[in-house]
Structure 1
Amino acid sequence: MKNSLLCSDKLLSLDTPQVMGILNVTPDSFSDGGQFVGHDHALAQVEQMINDGANIIDIGGESTRPGAKAVSADEELERVIPILESVKNRFDVIISVDTSKASVMKAAIQSGAGIINDVRALQNEQCIAELAKADVPICLMHMQGLPRTMQENPVYEDVVNDIIDFFKQRVSLCERAGINKQRLLIDPGFGFGKTLTQNYQLLAHLKCFESLGLPILVGTSRKSMIGNLLNRPVDERLAGSLSSAIIAAQQGAKIIRVHDVKETVDALNVLNAVNQQL
């Protein structure tokens, strides 16, 4: 497995877990919907996350929370591209764009995105073909079903092995289309078509995904798997989110996608200090 990723014009080291800060420029995301839709507010949040230690900013223009409605490509482009260009011009940071649309992927890469983060794992029309023309890293996430219905009745024979098999198939399709495996990352998709028990099975056995030979990205921050376990509302899930981030890092995750950057960076720095003594 590579210990670094070339993200457009920047090299990302994976020797220790890296923090990806979440920037939702949507009115309806589950945790911070509407909070960073305004351009100035979004840039201020990006600056804060970078100062707090984020090495990657993940910009999303379409909510993927359970029950979320789809948005058009034009609307998503209007939300994402202006802020992406402003972040690129103002800050020295790797920018990831969270999208499942080929047209948004193309525009994002042309505007300087260093990573494409797709909750649909390039299953939508033209996504594989479009990214075969590019050279940026791609995160393939697993989701059973679609956001509007994914939590109604998720069923697996074996959640860990089923998702590993899914990734094997997606990686094979990418390679056949001309996408080098070295460009790929994987995200098991916590909360995307999984029950509470299945989410914790994935977290407990995250190390099994190392068999794929690809960097693992994990996003558990503030999700219902934290809230439902602890009976905490979204704004009281920090302790649970930090715990899950540290467990993920111990289980081999290389990128941790979070809302609470400063606290996560602190927690990972403690873990790194311990690991250096082993």
Structure 2
Amino acid sequence: MTINCKGNLIDISSPKVMGILNLTPDSFYDGGKHQDISAVLSQVHGMLHDGATFIDVGAYSSKPQADFVSEAEELNRLIPIIQVLISEFPDIQLSVDTFRSQVAKESILAGASIINDISAGKLDSQMLEVVGILNVPYIMMHMRGTPQTMQSLTEYDSLIKDILFYFSERLAAAKKHQIHDIIIDPGFGFAKTREQNFQLLRHLEHFKILEKLLLVGFSRKSMIYKTLENTPQDALNGTTVLNTIALQKGANILRVHDVKEAMECIKLTNELT
């Protein structure tokens, strides 16, 4: 299976890695680390060198109870960095982590390739229309509410069935706007308890019924460090374990802070196929 990124067909027959670049001061793990151009370039160079196919740039933290960021501030953080990265790494495939259609539009016009929307179009009624017009790959994630309210919205009739129904509805909405390359993200940590996150992973293979590429993002999240009773800084080994399980259950893209270790997961699990 392939996705079309600015005219480049990216082959996803073997799993790929998406490296995380947070431009926010309040991200749960690396907030404030990438607040100047030299730090950004160094981080991105390292992730590309280690094997990342995509770099996911975000300027609005989606951690629980994250601070509100205005659209103007989000654009002010994003666009100059996108322009610098495109200039420095002309072949880079940039994904932009935003739920705002105007931010999506301006980011693609600045040179980004993919839109990564934590709300699957539910927080901006124009998002699906804009993505369809832009004709770019679209990552739609499962979430309830907003980052500020999601932790209070964790009651489900049937977790897996409810999430599958959510995606079937969002895929139908995306189809109306002729969005072709769609990637599904079940949303680990978003409107789900620690126990529900593990239930979701236990049944991850069920999402292949949607016949879309599957992205997972566990990297250093609380489902790991709260279970292991440590911290995000100590959660790399746990992340590697869950990434390996996800690959065995059909994950196509690993969204991570630590690219080298994720690439090693892929290389080793590929030996089992």
Match of 1:136 in 2: 136
Q: What is the CA-CA distance between 1:273 and the residue it aligns to?
A: 2.2
Q: Which runs of 5+ in 1 are unaligned?
A: none
Q: Aligned to 2:272, what secondary structure does the other structure show?
A: helix
Q: What is the CA-CA distance between 1:9 and the residue it aligns to?
A: 3.1
Q: What is the CA-CA distance between 1:12 and the residue it aligns to?
A: 1.5
Q: How does 1:8-157 map to 2 (within 5 A)?
A: 8-91=6-89, 92-123=91-122, 124-157=124-157
Residues 183 and 265 of structure 1, relative CA distance in 2, 3 Å threshold: same
Q: Distance in 1 between matches of 2:181 and 2:266?
A: 25
Amino acid of the structure 2 residue aligned with 1:179: Q
Q: Distance in 2 between matches of 1:12 and 1:246?
A: 22
Q: What are the Cα deviations for residues 53-95 of structure 1, in whole angstroms up to 9, with x where unaligned?
A: 1110000000000110221111001111111111112112211
The one of 236, 250, 253 aligned to 2:251: 253
Q: 2:56, 2:94 within 8 Å by CA — same for their partners in 1?
A: yes
Match of 1:170 in 2: 170
Q: 1:10, 1:94 within 8 Å by CA — same for their partners in 2?
A: no
Match of 1:222 in 2: 220
Q: 1:85, 1:112 within 8 Å by CA — same for their partners in 2?
A: yes
Runs of 4+ residues over 3 Å off in structure 1: none
Q: What is the CA-CA distance between 1:156 and the residue it aligns to?
A: 0.7
Amino acid of the structure 1 residue aligned with 2:108: I
Q: What is the CA-CA distance between 1:125 and the residue it aligns to?
A: 2.9
Q: What is the CA-CA distance between 1:6 and the residue it aligns to?
A: 0.7
Q: 1:19, 1:53 within 8 Å by CA — same for their partners in 2?
A: yes
Q: What is the CA-CA distance between 1:114 and the residue it aligns to?
A: 1.0
Q: Distance in 2 between matches of 1:273 and 1:83?
A: 37
Q: Which runs of 5+ in 2 are unaligned?
A: none
Q: Aligned to 1:5, what secondary structure does the other structure show?
A: strand
Report the count of equivalent residues. 271
Q: Aligned to 1:22, what secondary structure does the other structure show?
A: strand
Amino acid of the structure 1 residue aligned with 2:214: I
Q: Aligned to 1:216, what secondary structure does the other structure show?
A: strand
RMSD: 1.0
Q: Aligned to 1:151, what secondary structure does the other structure show?
A: helix
Q: Distance in 2 between matches of 1:5 and 1:153?
A: 33
Q: Distance in 1 between matches of 2:190 and 2:59?
A: 18
Q: 2:58, 2:78 within 8 Å by CA — same for their partners in 1?
A: yes
Q: Distance in 1 between matches of 2:149 and 2:121?
A: 19
Q: Aligned to 1:81, what secondary structure does the other structure show?
A: helix
Q: Distance in 2 between matches of 1:252 and 1:186?
A: 12
Amino acid of the structure 1 residue aligned with 2:23: V
Q: Distance in 1 between matches of 2:99 and 2:178?
A: 17
Q: Aligned to 1:76, what secondary structure does the other structure show?
A: helix
Q: 2:118, 2:141 within 8 Å by CA — same for their partners in 1?
A: yes
Match of 1:189 in 2: 187
Q: What is the CA-CA distance between 1:153 and the residue it aligns to?
A: 4.8
What TM-score do the two structures reach when normalised by structure 1?
0.95
Match of 2:196 in 1: 198
Q: 2:56, 2:96 within 8 Å by CA — same for their partners in 1?
A: yes
Q: Distance in 1 between matches of 2:3 and 2:17?
A: 14
